[in-house]
Amino acid sequence: MKAIFAAGCFWGVEEAFSKLKGVKKTSAGYTGGTTKNPSYEDICSNTTGHTEAIEIYYDPKKISYKELLKTFWAIHDPTTKNRQGLDIGSQYRSAIFYHTEEQRKEAEESRNEEQNNYKKEIVTEITKASTFYKAEEYHQEYNKKHGVSCRIN
């Protein structure tokens, strides 16, 4: 199965999801915009509509989509529009990109449940998945390659 989440800088997001049992593969990339084959420089221009995101391949027998959603909510602040920590811009927005109607329903239910934990409104987008463009190789498993750990939120 496949899932796509955006929760700020994709380096830390990828690190968080790649550690989960049942996650087979993660890729950092760009989705949710209009430009074909955008580069990192393109999306940083704030003109393509893309966000930094993580594509996750997982084994639903070992980890459920609901469990992935729990991690998603735990690793970032879903109440800040187009921002996570010091990273500002639409490429850092909070978003869930669903592939199936079941994923959409579970994402909406989890957002409604999660809202109880916040005084401010959750601004996370829940959108049908579109083309996911894998980011440049130097972005893949960045934290692991460089022995760093980003603060996500």
Residue found under tokens 């996911």: 132
First to last CA, the chain: 27
44 is catalytic: no
Residues linked to residue 31 through DSSP beta bridges, in sequence order: 51
Helices and strands per DSSP (H, E), number in the chain: 5, 8
CA angle centred on 28, ends 92 and 153, rounded to 5°:
40
Q: Which entry of 3, 6, 9, 16 is annotated as an active-site residue?
A: 9
* Of 128, 5, 120, 24, the residue nearest 70 (C-alpha): 5
Type of residue found at 57:
Y
CA angle centred on 113, ends 14 and 75, rounded to 5°:
20
Q: List residues with catalytic annotation.
A: 9
